[in-house]
Amino acid sequence: MTTSAPSSTLQHILLVEDEPGDARLIDEVLHDHPRVRLHTVLDVVHAIHFMTKQQAYFDAPTPDLIILDLQLPIFSGKALLEERRRRNFCPAVPVVVMTTSAAERVECKLLGATEYHVKPREWSQWQALIRQLVARHLGVDLQV
């Protein structure tokens, strides 16, 4: 599913990631682009609050793309996919799972993940993957 927006529209990415190094890598790819804003939360509870505009996130923008880690504290990323499906919030927003193992690919796709990727090991691979995801789902070219 591709979501394209007019060239002047600010695109919002919700990153659900508790690993500071991985979050920093994604932020490095996105931080200078004027049309993309990254919002990072550390766990499923905060992600649900962000997506449903609850508590501290009452004025949060609706994300245009969600990047989700599976290995999170308290609840796994799969719990977010399950809750999103059960409560039907942000149903049209693509969810890209990025994790360290390919073992749960099928289950995540059945729960509504749009894409599933094993986290790259090299910086250049991170850059390429994030650029591809943003181009494919947001219609934004991040090439320098």
User: Which position has the token pair 């790819």?
Assistant: 29
Contact status, residue 46 vs residue 79, Cβ threshold 8 Å:
no
**What six digits make up the tokens of 2?**
């591709």
The tens-digit pLDDT sequence of the chain (144 residues) is: 344 444 458 999 999 999 999 999 999 999 888 999 999 999 999 999 999 999 999 999 999 999 999 999 999 999 999 999 999 999 999 999 999 988 999 999 999 999 999 999 999 999 999 999 999 999 998 875
Delimit the domains of the chain by residue range: 14-136
State the Cα–Cα distance between residues 134 and 74, nearest whole angstrom.
28
CATH of 14-136, one of 3.40.30.10, 2.60.120.920, 3.30.365.10, 3.40.50.2300: 3.40.50.2300
Q: Is 137 exposed, middle or buried (0-12, 13-18, 19+ CB in 10 A)?
A: buried
Tell me the torsion sign for CA atoms 95, 10, 41, 84.
negative
